[in-house]
Structure 1
């Protein structure tokens, strides 16, 4: 069902710091350089003075190795309206004088003046006729950006070859009622000198690499070295509007070398039978945005990192290390249609690399930890504004069961420990997208998962305590427990076979190294992410300043 266009609002509640310090402003590409066939190529060709039913304006620029192109085509389909760009005929002028109500142009020769007089007389022949004259940067001396001027009357001075247009200074949001706007690389129908796709930087380390807290007898430490994201997202945006009503609004994101690395080490000390879950924001990293001056476009992106856990029941004290790395194919593409609303995604099945899990002391319970890297975009184009979040969430978990035996508790244990911990690990990743109205505190009007994978890993067993063989019988029968891994005894599991091929659906089978029965300590923790989106929380925070 198509959502009503109540979300057409004139502003985004973004920090001015993000817009000014981190956005780069695209500069105009002069209309006289556009190969449209309508600029003067001969001394007697003054067609650049023709009043047109549509006109195209380009902006371009590059910063930090990334280039962008903005293409705005404004249509004037009515019988009583037209448009013309001064950039095309400015070489025919000696000078221009502007006020808020008039523009006076001094033509270099009589022939160009007479051509303009003949064409522009059109606006004087009927009271309802208007045309938009767009002055280029600095053409009026005081205008820093392209300036739309609505002309309702024209005066001619034959003696001085001067034309004065009478009307008023306006803005793009008012005069551009029917248009197409493209921002990114070059559109498929246009071949320009600037052809690099604009990209959003995704190379960032996790802002907070360690944390600790305690609640009663529950103590928890978290460390994550070499955790963060890499790569970039190519970005394109298209907006089509007819008589101020959007008929097509879409955004496309494509990963380029995008990966995420998550290698947490947890220090746990607890004795409780319940469960604990939480998610906390670690930090925001604003990245280079994009601005087309004159209120045409403002893009304010940022990366928001968060971290979450689901634990319990937990009995014991130990250190647990695990991890997962994910990578996205460069061929992946996500296109979000904001008028339907809907999205199409292809090639987003992530490559998941599991890390070995280590346990350095006796502990039982359920553990699941995740990190989330959200690419958030707040965008306003003319009178249309919205926010979009793309969340990448790798996670790792395990069920830990304390075991004992009169013999060796773990097969293939050369020291034949009587006590140990059996581990059933798992790992996965969730990729989610949501979109909301800019400044709207209601629920997102679009929220979908574009990928969700769960990868159970082969079981493992770690022996602890005094070994039962003769060589170890003289050792103490207690195990020292610390918050860091002991040199020995502990066992690191490392798969000896290649990981199974990951399909877009959840994997439900895995090779088990050892068979055993254990308590369902983590059965209440779903394989998919248990944590709600935090995008709405951040969105409301921005809305409240």
Structure 2
């Protein structure tokens, strides 16, 4: 199953106008859980670390509510928070070891007996007074989240169920009878999980040629950006396809192409009655635009159909142990169904900007899909040409962000295809030294263009956006860009 967000694209120089995106009735399909071993995206996961407060702040009070926080530890780009409460559980209280400040000398996190060695008597006695509640009734228990350097990173935020405590008043040690909880979801009666990319990151514009000459560059860029996808990419002066040779060939080139903006991702889950009742992934497109200026040229009668990934954004993501993982990747490229009959070339293009911001929320469980934005403004470049030919101009830019998420033990896979600007039409380049081109007696060269431009976006599953295993149409809109003859040269 799959999800998404949306962008828009087009190209050029000229007056701009706003065109509303038309929402189409989609298939009544809801993404569901998939086996974790069926995930397609690879790449290393960065472990988000708990935000520890091992300073002067000390709090040993047993609570009914808790908030666990994580971040990436570097630029603080990715943040996560799990809030939970046990208000309806009379026999359960909760505490986070991170609240103990610097009071502990060391901790032995080995079950079935966990020992907490206090530095001095004051904090020890304060903790004992608070924690003796668990010994007051056999049904009482404490959920303790372990955060201490002595326990090691693999135990960070690991939950343990404490059923009784005995104390060594001479050495200031508390011995807890514990059992480690493998299934965190099963001990949270009511809670919310939010993971999102909050910080703005200044990302450089990266040329596709740079990525080709230095494959490690993409990995270094990815390593810095956690779960914000930058769309600041150029792929100008780039051949998209080339078929044939000699007197029978066709080529499509990007003379000035690229994308701008970024996508931020939010993962949310609502836990109720010890199970996830609501979950979704939200894609937020900010300052997104694309420009596509193209040249189709050749000789003879030749056609090409397919798509080319020009800028792959390698899968990357994060893991919160026992809680969630999120992997994200994207491809930027050009799809084509173009042909030429004759000899010469034709150029055309446009730029498109998406409403800022544009948000798509794909619901996995217990909620409805939501959208906002998704209007586009376009500017166009007038076609030019030379020679004598007829050409089919079926070309589109594409951005295909994908996400794979695990929330506790359930896995979800989501992707969206944004095809924009999407061109569909024909062009005829013709010349006559006697004039008469474009019904003008003085015009000796012209290009007659019937061209539509638009946007298509759909949620999909599978490896190939052009032939997905499953898809649900989100938006589709085409409108006339040109239906006229352009005079390219006149009699002296």
| TM-score past 0.5 threshold | yes
1:303-342 to structure 2, matched below 5 A, reads 303-311=330-338, 314-339=340-365, 342=368
Aligned to 1:396: 423
Matched, 1:452 2:480: no
**Does the 8 Å CA contact 2:402/2:416 hold for their aligned counterparts?**
yes
Residues 29 and 318 (structure 1 numbering): CA distance in 2 closer, same or farther, change over 3 Å?
same
Aligned to 2:448: 422
Aligned to 2:141: 130
- Cα deviations by residue, 1:393-448 (Å, 9 ceiling, x for unpaired): 2123432347799861334463x54x865222332233334479xxxx9955x723
Residues 32 and 186 (structure 1 numbering): CA distance in 2 closer, same or farther, change over 3 Å?
farther
Distance in 1 (CA, whole Å) between partners of 2:395 and 2:195 is 38
Distance in 1 (CA, whole Å) between partners of 2:468 and 2:453 is 33
Aligned to 1:509: none
Matched, 1:78 2:104: no
Which stretch has the larger CA shift, 53-62 or 169-178? 169-178
- Displacement after TM superposition at 1:127 (Å): 4.8
| Matched position secondary structure for 1:88 | helix
Aligned to 1:202: 231
Given candidates 247, 251, 254, the residue that maps to 2:284 is 254
Aligned to 1:481: none
Higher strand share: 2
- Displacement after TM superposition at 1:96 (Å): 2.4
Distance in 2 (CA, whole Å) between partners of 1:94 and 1:52 is 23
1:175-186 to structure 2, matched below 5 A, reads 176-178=187-189, 179-184=191-196
- Cα deviations by residue, 1:149-208 (Å, 9 ceiling, x for unpaired): 222332222333321112233446455544311112679xxxxxxxxx974312123499
Distance in 2 (CA, whole Å) between partners of 1:232 and 1:203 is 8
Given candidates 90, 95, 99, the residue that maps to 1:88 is 99
Distance in 1 (CA, whole Å) between partners of 2:102 and 2:362 is 43
Structure scoring higher RCO (CA < 8 A, sep ≥ 6) equals 2
Aligned to 2:223: none
**Does the 8 Å CA contact 2:185/2:408 hold for their aligned counterparts?**
no
- Cα deviations by residue, 1:469-519 (Å, 9 ceiling, x for unpaired): 7x7xxxxxxxxxxxxxxxxxxxxxxxxxxxxxxxxxxxxxxxxxxxxxxxx
TM-score (norm 1): 0.67
**Does the 8 Å CA contact 1:134/1:146 hold for their aligned counterparts?**
yes
Aligned to 1:29: 51
Residues 347 and 33 (structure 1 numbering): CA distance in 2 closer, same or farther, change over 3 Å?
farther
Residues 407 and 307 (structure 1 numbering): CA distance in 2 closer, same or farther, change over 3 Å?
closer
Distance in 1 (CA, whole Å) between partners of 2:361 and 2:131 is 43
Given candidates 272, 275, 281, the residue that maps to 1:242 is 272
- Displacement after TM superposition at 1:304 (Å): 0.8
| Matched position secondary structure for 1:30 | coil
**Does the 8 Å CA contact 2:460/2:472 hold for their aligned counterparts?**
yes
Compare CA radii of gyration and give the structure with the larger one.
1
| Matched position secondary structure for 1:330 | coil
Aligned to 1:410: 438
- Displacement after TM superposition at 1:371 (Å): 1.9
TM-score (norm 2): 0.74
**Does the 8 Å CA contact 1:233/1:254 hold for their aligned counterparts?**
yes
| Matched position secondary structure for 1:323 | strand
Residues 26 and 200 (structure 1 numbering): CA distance in 2 closer, same or farther, change over 3 Å?
same
Between the two proteins, the alignment pairs up a number of residues equal to: 432
Distance in 2 (CA, whole Å) between partners of 1:33 and 1:249 is 35
Matched, 1:147 2:158: yes
Distance in 2 (CA, whole Å) between partners of 1:330 and 1:254 is 9
Aligned to 1:269: 299
